[in-house]
Chains A and B, each alone.
Chain A
């Protein structure tokens, strides 16, 4: 007898689909679930690890291009979301 999904009979699957179609509730997420999902999503964003590398020549930093990261890199500039960071270095003068 053929099984579908995680091992249920085809007849059972058909019944699940029939019940799913007939359900007239709005199928909305709960306040609690949305709250949890928001926190998880924010947590993932804030814990994402991106390693930046670059070179320094004549006191000017140039970042290496990044692939698959939510950051745009251009020379000494980083664009993260709506924020543009411009990194300027200065030489330390020792007495």
Chain B
């Protein structure tokens, strides 16, 4: 039986609603300002309220209870069984997103008949997309590192979903695999929580996605060697790092310093360091 649904009108201005709509179609063209605006809109939506049957939920609570609580573990279990994680994983996340949309519809969260339901639908699918795509990428990276023979301790997302780190690499430190816009907080933190972050960024010039590793200067000192491949140049913007790959860059923006390494180069340097340690 369909439950009674009432959704309170989100307190969004026209510009914020436009950002939400653009996110659905062309987020890869977003500027930095637009990504930050989107985050603020999502944060606002998280605290909006929906009356669902006899219970009142904030959107974030609703997502946790009905979407994440139902779909996350089966997704992670199925993801772990895939052979080509990146290709099949994105198809799997889309299949589950369709199921989520159907479930919302079947349970009365219907844009049009139910005022403001489009915000809850968009919020749930945004959260799902961020969660699922993040885990697809994380699984692909962890598998790739294992296949390459990198010595490390990965966390198991099906056992500990909210572990503070995704992997520990002896000789380098704790690492996180990041894909969401919230990576910005880690990058600009006075004291980053991890020693390195594996991420994937879009390169508009070549219209492709580029894997990169952001390493704290302290962790980089532990990893780097005297080989030519480890030699850095200093740059003052993030696009400049991508332009110079596979060259390692030390990027300085105001008081912030990160060493940015193309993923395959980072993996080679890491493997070499670990092999030297065993000799």
Residue A5 at the B interface, CB < 8 A? yes
Residue A91 at the B interface, CB < 8 A? no
Residue A55 at the B interface, CB < 8 A? no
- Find residues 1-34 in chain A having any chain B CB closer than 8 Å to their own CB: 2, 4-6, 8, 10, 13-14, 16-17, 19-34
Q: Is the CB of B238 within 8 A of A31?
A: yes
Main SS of the interface on chain A? helix
Tell me the nearest residue of chain A to B190, going by C-beta: A81
Task: Give the interface size class of chain B.
Answer: 35 or more
- Known A-B contacts A34-B32, A38-B32, A38-B184; the reply to A28 vs B25 at CB < 8 A is no
Return the contact of A38 from the options B28, B30, B200, B253 (Cβ within 8 A).
Answer: B253
Main SS of the interface on chain B? helix
Closest CB in chain A relative to B236 CB, distance in Å: 10
- Known A-B contacts A6-B21, A42-B188; the reply to A35 vs B200 at CB < 8 A is no
Q: Is the CB of A37 within 8 A of B202?
A: no
Interface residues of B (CB under 8 A from A): 14, 17-18, 20-21, 24-25, 27-28, 30-36, 90-91, 94, 97-98, 101, 111-113, 117-118, 121-122, 125, 129, 133, 137, 179, 181, 183-184, 187-188, 190-191, 199-204, 209-210, 237-239, 241-242, 253-256
Interface residues of A (CB under 8 A from B): 2, 4-6, 8, 10, 13-14, 16-17, 19-42, 45-46, 81-82
5 contacts between A and B (CB under 8 A): A5-B20, A17-B122, A28-B200, A33-B32, A35-B238
